[in-house]
Amino acid sequence: MKLKNTLGLAIGTLIAATSFGALAQGQGAVEGELNYGKKYNDSVNNVEDGYTPGASIGYFLTDDVSLNFTYNNDDYTRSNNNTGNQKIEGDQFGLNAQYHFNNAGDALRPYVQGGVKHGSLTNVAADGHTGRDQSTFLTAGAGLKYYFLENVYARAGVEADYKLDNGRWDYIPSVGLGVNFGGGNKPAAAPVPAPEVCSDSDNDGVCDNVDKCPDTPANVTVDADGCPAVAEVVRVELDVKFDFDKSVVKPNSYGDIKNLADFMKQYPSTTTTVEGHTDSVGPDAYNQKLSERRANAVKQVLTNQYGVESSRVQSVGYGESRPVADNKTEAGRAVNRRVEAQVEAQAK
């Protein structure tokens, strides 16, 4: 009854934790888990294989590495000699480190682990003494976590425990259910409103949405009257969106890039810097490289496709460091997967 009450309280705690708002599988996150395993015993004489319910709590030191405190109960292990199925009780406390593969936020995260356990187990009466034996184990294991919700996962794995006292092994395949909460989300910058620009829906080279300055070119930043925002300065801005984890320029972005190229040809003294960005999914170092590839892809279209001199176009990647929308939502992440550029010139 005591064990059932304890498990019920723990399960209730896990369910309640799913309501937390700051959810992630990366650095700073906390994971709690309930688990149940089959224990194949070889380290203790005269004891049958048994079952070992348990729980763990872990903290992610990085996006991939967590440090975990574990507890397992061996109450379901019984002796296999002629003592009338004597009940054997035990407790094990452990500390291990897990290394997770794939990226924080992925549904599937394989892992490997290693650590140490200290166990306390009642003796088998037939062995000639009573009390509890104390033992220390080195542990190693591997498995897979499946995050079927953003912060709830199921786990399956196997662990091998090496008993330092006698050099023998126990093997424990297990399953678990856990929650992940409380860290890893990088602060999202407040969305930056896009400047009002001239629209030219009928492609006649004249702004449709203004009454003044009708000769303002398309895609130039304008003020409330539709005139260039800075006196005698005209500007073209570029915002190219990318699919998740891709650096290929989509066909629907070529027209916008061509507008920028045409503007630079109209003002041959201009230069520009093409800036690449990503959302927050994945490691920082990977996102930095991805943003650089995106920026370079847009530069190649400008120079190779539309003939802007390469010396007039620089490319730079900022990774995930400059979000303009909330990375906690899919819509926000889609906005952040972008390449931006702008060109200013003195109006003729």
Model confidence at 6: pLDDT above 50: no
Answer whether residue 154 is part of any domain. yes
Answer whether residue 213 is part of any domain. no
All residues at 6 or more sequence positions from 112 whose CB lies less than 8 Å from its CB, including other chains = 98, 99, 140, 141, 142
Predicted TM-score (pTM) of the model is: 0.50
288 secondary structure, DSSP code: H
Q: What is the DSSP string of 295-345?
A: HHHHHHIIIIIT---GGGEEEEE-TTSS-SS-TTSHHHHHHHSEEEEEEEE
Please compute the mean of the pLDDT values over residues 242-258 and round it to a whole number.
92
Model confidence at 244: pLDDT above 50: yes
Q: Say if residue 125 is in the same domain as residue 260.
A: no
Please compute the mean of the pLDDT values over residues 263-267 and round it to a whole number.
89
Q: What residues make up the domain containing 168?
A: 2-181
Answer whether residue 29 is part of any domain. yes
C-alpha distances (whole Å) from 94 to each of 62, 63, 101, 161, 296 are 21, 22, 22, 11, 49
Q: Say if residue 253 is in the same domain as residue 176.
A: no
Q: Say if residue 49 is in the same domain as residue 124.
A: yes
| Residues of the chain above pLDDT 90, percent | 52
Mean pLDDT of the chain: 81
Nearest to 199 by CA among 169, 220, 225, 213: 220
pLDDT, residue 129, reads: 56
Q: Say if residue 26 is in the same domain as residue 166.
A: yes
CB 69 within 8 A of CB 51: no
Model confidence at 188: pLDDT above 90: no
> How many domains, the chain?
2
Model confidence at 22: pLDDT above 50: no
Residue 29 sits in a domain whose CATH number is 2.40.160.20
The alpha carbon dihedral of 10, 13, 15, 18 has a sign of: negative
Number of H helices, E strands in the chain: 4, 14
| Residues of the chain above pLDDT 70, percent | 73
Q: What is the DSSP string of 137-149?
A: EEEEEEEEEEESS
Answer whether residue 198 is part of any domain. no
Answer whether residue 211 is part of any domain. no
Residue 342 sits in a domain whose CATH number is 3.30.1330.60
Burial profile 243-264: b = 16 or more Cβ within 10 angstroms, e = fewer: eeeebebeeebeebbebbbebb
Q: Say if residue 164 is in the same domain as residue 266.
A: no
Model confidence at 205: pLDDT above 80: no
Model confidence at 310: pLDDT above 80: yes
Model confidence at 126: pLDDT above 80: no
Q: Say if residue 163 is in the same domain as residue 89.
A: yes
Model confidence at 32: pLDDT above 90: yes
Q: Say if residue 18 is in the same domain as residue 108.
A: yes
The two tokens of residue 60 are 């992610």
Radius of gyration of the chain (CA): 31
> Among 136-140, 159-163, 188-192, 279-283, whose mean pLDDT is lowest?
188-192
> Among 130-144, 191-205, 306-320, whose mean pLDDT is lowest?
191-205
Q: Say if residue 157 is in the same domain as residue 302.
A: no
Q: What's the rounded Cα separation, in Å, for the pair 306 and 300?
A: 9
Choice between 236 and 318, residue whose per-residue pLDDT is larger: 318
Please compute the mean of the pLDDT values over residues 267-283 and round it to a whole number.
92
Where residue 169 falls among pLDDT bands split at 50, 70, 90? Answer: very high
Q: What's the rounded Cα separation, in Å, for the pair 205 and 190?
A: 34
CB 56 within 8 A of CB 68: yes
Q: Say if residue 264 is in the same domain as residue 161.
A: no
Q: What's the rounded Cα separation, in Å, for the pair 123 and 136?
A: 16
Q: What's the rounded Cα separation, in Å, for the pair 153 and 197?
A: 46
